[in-house]
Structure 1
Amino acid sequence: MPGDNAKKALIDSMNGLLADYFTLYLKTKNYHWHVAGPQFRELHLLFDEQAAELFALTDVIAERVRKNGGDTLTGIGAIAGKASIKDDDRSKVDAMEMVKALRDDNVALVKAIRAVKEAASEAGDNATEGMADDWTDQAEQRVWFLTQTLA
């Protein structure tokens, strides 16, 4: 039977992941709103699609935290305090710099998801452990699309 420390570590790692999802969502939406240049339409649509995918998982992750007996993030300050992905509040960013930043952030997100999966395994939470595989697949697909855009 997993101990309280394993459960607390899982809750903490999921809240960190939740903060990263929110941060990456807002960063992706910022880029969606401010992208310019020859690939405007393609990138505008890609960023919007990826932002929607990121946002859709925030509730799922938060509910996993609650189902594990923890409290979720409560506001912007809590998100900023837990996020490992860096915000970008600039409105003027080169389009390919945007693509590279989002690609790198999604690579970091894959690592965070894998840490949650490991913590879920330690805590005996097979539901979160299984869901992490789907989250990883989605993040890896975003990495692939963004990488191919840079090629």
Structure 2
Amino acid sequence: MAKSITSSKSKKAASAKKLQQAAILFPTDLGQKASKDISGAMNSVLADVFALYLKTKNFHWHVSGPHFRDYHLMLDDHGDELFAMTDPIAERVRKLGGTTLRSIGHISKLQSISDNDADFVEPSDMIAELCQDNIKLTTRMRVAHDICDKYNDSATASLIEEWIDQTEKRAWFLFETSRKLDSSGH
């Protein structure tokens, strides 16, 4: 009997040790599948945020024309908003037990926002392209939000909700900036 009690205690201790090790390797109660799926979705969002950030800064640096000051300042603000998203996204992935982006090459494999390497882009085309890219980013974040909902990850979902609002605001500003006056001057 003493042998079976010792054996039972050893099994419990081994089980507790495995659970503790799993907790260290996997710091969330959502599970490995959730971590993998949410991390994958958020890394795709992060790749698009970086791609859009760089495109926004590219256009900020290269905008010209009669609306230079307004566009230059607006795009600088938009770039700041995008860059501010990057660390919280990456840290959320890490909190879920995942790994995140490691290089420009990794970003290029995951991004759905296309680069614009043209030597010259008309300011109106810059604004229109960024508007569409922000809408595309919103779509990608909604997909990630759906994945969070599937696994009841309210923390990531609530962050995404804030970022969707910010991204929709950028798209709205870009859209309104691109509108042409009608013949009455309005």
Shift in Å at residue 37 of structure 1? 0.7
C-alpha RMSD of the superposition:
1.2
Higher relative contact order structure (alpha carbons within 8 Å, sequence separation ≥ 6): 1
Q: How far apart, in 2, do the equivalents of 1:89 and 1:32 lie?
A: 14
Match of residue 122 from structure 2? 94
Comparing 9-18 and 115-124, the one that deviates more: 115-124
Comparing 126-135 and 26-35, the one that deviates more: 126-135
CA contact (8 A) 1:34 1:91 kept: no
CA contact (8 A) 1:110 1:139 kept: yes
CA contact (8 A) 1:113 1:132 kept: yes
Match of residue 184 from structure 2? none
Match of residue 152 from structure 2? 124
1:61 to 85, 89, 94: 89
| Residue 114 (structure 1) aligned with residue 142 (structure 2) | yes
Correspondences of 1:9-20 after superposition (within 5 Å): 9-20=37-48
Q: Which runs of 5+ in 1 are unaligned?
A: none
CA contact (8 A) 1:2 1:122 kept: no
Match of residue 54 from structure 2? 26
Shift in Å at residue 29 of structure 1? 0.2
Q: How far apart, in 1, do the equivalents of 2:102 and 2:152 lie?
A: 26
TM-score of the superposition, structure 1-length normalised? 0.96
Comparing 83-92 and 33-42, the one that deviates more: 83-92
Match of residue 161 from structure 2? 133
Identity %: 46
Q: How far apart, in 2, do the equivalents of 1:123 and 1:8 lie?
A: 11
Q: Which runs of 5+ in 2 are unaligned?
A: 1-28, 180-186
Shift in Å at residue 2 of structure 1? 5.4
Q: How far apart, in 2, do the equivalents of 1:90 and 1:46 lie?
A: 21
CA contact (8 A) 1:103 1:146 kept: yes
> If you compute each CA radius of gyration, which structure gives the higher value, 1 or 2?
2
Alignment length (residue pairs): 151
CA contact (8 A) 2:30 2:153 kept: no
Shift in Å at residue 19 of structure 1? 0.3
